[in-house]
Structure 1
Amino acid sequence: MGIGRRKWAAFFAVAVMGATAGCAGSDGGAGADGGPSAPAPVADARRMSESLTLLKGYRSLGLKGEVRGEVPRTVDLHADRHGNCVGTYEELGATNEVVVIGDRGWVLYGDKKLESSRTFAKTYAPDQLPAVEKAIEKARGKYVEYPAHEVLQYPGLNLCDLGRAFAKLPGTVSSAEEKGNPRAKGGERTVQLTHGSGGDEVSVHVPEKAGSVPRGIDFVIGDAPALLELGDYDEPVRVKPPNRADIVSAEEVKGMNVSVE
């Protein structure tokens, strides 16, 4: 299982490019040296608003990057607005797979994750170690089944719910500024447009030359900063539940939940 090869292609680039190419570079007149001046702030705000509108309108999206919570996590997910999500998340060097379909979710914990549970119990709750080891052996190589809402509460995996993940992002902005230097990825250079400050700051990364397709977004989800690359725009999320023989219930492996007073 996994996400597979990423296309990272922008389906709306052509349509948006024609509408916004003039906004990117023609709002200003000639600069003091006779060359073209930088885009006016209003043009940056218009372009960022268009990018946010596109982002909120996608039916599905690929999200790849880092969520910098108390425990930093990297994610590589493909989610849609029908409750489907598939991909991986990594924390403390352990990579785990996740599948969400409607109201059910499954997590396949990697061996490093399972061993970290054993180490934690051995160090902080040795009296619980037998129950932890029993649960680990049940979970090893199996998909642990949870209600989807429990999976989606997990930092990083809350990105699987696109509606809630982006709910607090503004639909439009009245001001924006270009920050940092253009960056290149996959042969394309992008610029960062930023609005707000502190916990309310949000940045979108759009093609440098023209167009408003969001190639990336930096924002705060919950209390955690998220820095994400975006792709797989409107591509179907191809997901199916694990085979029944490969599933164990969360109840069967609850011994992995070590309680420390």
Structure 2
Amino acid sequence: MAGQRIATRAGACAAVAVLAVAGGTVARADDGFEALPAEQIADRSRDALLDVSSVHLRARGDLGKGRSPMTVDLTLDRNGNCAGGVDLGKDKGSVKIVKRGDSVWLKPDADFWENQVPVGGSAFEAILAGRYMRGSASDSRLRPVVEACDLDTFRELVSDNAGSDAGTYSKGKVTTVDGVRTVPVTRTLNEQKLTAYVDTGGTHYPVRITVRGDGADAAVDFSGFDEPVPTATPPADETVDVSAVLGRGPSQS
């Protein structure tokens, strides 16, 4: 069903960011931050990210294993609100996403309907006529989007990956990323290298995380820490109920 495909692909894109976050759990030290061992810098960076109430993330690239490069651009918070979009890359389509409270809006473009829903996609596109689909957060067809929009889901996945001390850590020279002074720390595991560029001042957020090797080539930029998610939602005359597009089937969880 088209709604499930939209939701699943959006959730998969957001997972690029989740899978990119890792770090061991080690004791803190009182030394100057830049002088800390790589493991401790990674630990502080992860903890800072887990503490935020909202964040803007932009994930782009692919994690290998035959996955196509794609981009996620989302601002999300711990109340389950989010705004942004997903671009599947190479003219495969994109979807704008807004979630506020119990309402979810999705706006696939023409390329999405043509490439992701080859059977029936043109009919769905005609019904929408450039408008958003609107549904409830409790609609099972939209569950992956709802989960991807919730910062608590993101935090849980980061925490689940935080206990592993596998691989080796190294620290690079201080460098500037988007005007922020950062220290890069790299975790190498098998043939893959994950590098976090950590803000050296104030709260030690990861400004960028990259994943390279073993077929992967992805990056995640973080910004807008603790800044509110935009509150604007599509007006009623620019929306169509999801059931009018996908039909009335089992939709409640």
TM-score range, shorter chain: 0.5 to 0.7
One of 209, 231, 234 as aligned partner of 2:223: 231
CA RMSD of aligned residues (A): 3.6
Match of 2:153 in 1: 164
Query: Is contact 2:194-2:209 (8 Å) kept?
Result: yes
2: distance between equivalents of 1:55 and 1:161? 14
Query: Aligned runs of 1:188-227 on 2, under 5 Å?
Result: 188-195=180-187, 197=189, 203-207=195-199, 212-218=204-210, 227=219
Match of 1:22 in 2: 32
Structure 2 residue 86 is the aligned partner of structure 1 residue 89:
yes
Structure with the greater alpha carbon radius of gyration: 1
2: distance between equivalents of 1:201 and 1:250? 42
Match of 1:139 in 2: 128
Query: Is contact 2:110-2:125 (8 Å) kept?
Result: no
5+ residue gaps in structure 2? 1-28, 248-253
Structure 1 residues 67 and 135 mapped into 2: Cα distance closer, same or farther (>3 Å)? Answer: same
Match of 1:245 in 2: 237
Offset of residue 234 of structure 1: 0.4
2: distance between equivalents of 1:71 and 1:53? 31
One of 169, 172, 185 as aligned partner of 1:177: 169
Q: Once the two structures are superposed, what CA deviation does each residue of 1:145-201 show, in whole Å capped at 9, x if it has no partner?
A: 2333644515xx854222212313345776962367766432345343244736998
Secondary structure of the structure 2 residue equivalent to 1:215: strand
Query: Is contact 2:97-2:106 (8 Å) kept?
Result: yes
Structure 2 residue 144 is the aligned partner of structure 1 residue 153:
yes
2: distance between equivalents of 1:199 and 1:160? 31
Q: Given the two structures, how large is their TM-score scaled by the length of structure 2?
A: 0.65
Q: Once the two structures are superposed, what CA deviation does each residue of 1:69-109 show, in whole Å capped at 9, x if it has no partner?
A: 63432011111111110012101333321101123211111
Q: Given the two structures, how large is their TM-score scaled by the length of structure 1?
A: 0.63
Match of 2:103 in 1: 104
Secondary structure of the structure 1 residue equivalent to 2:95: strand
Structure 2 residue 71 is the aligned partner of structure 1 residue 79:
no
User: How many residues are matched?
Assistant: 205
Sequence identity (%):
23
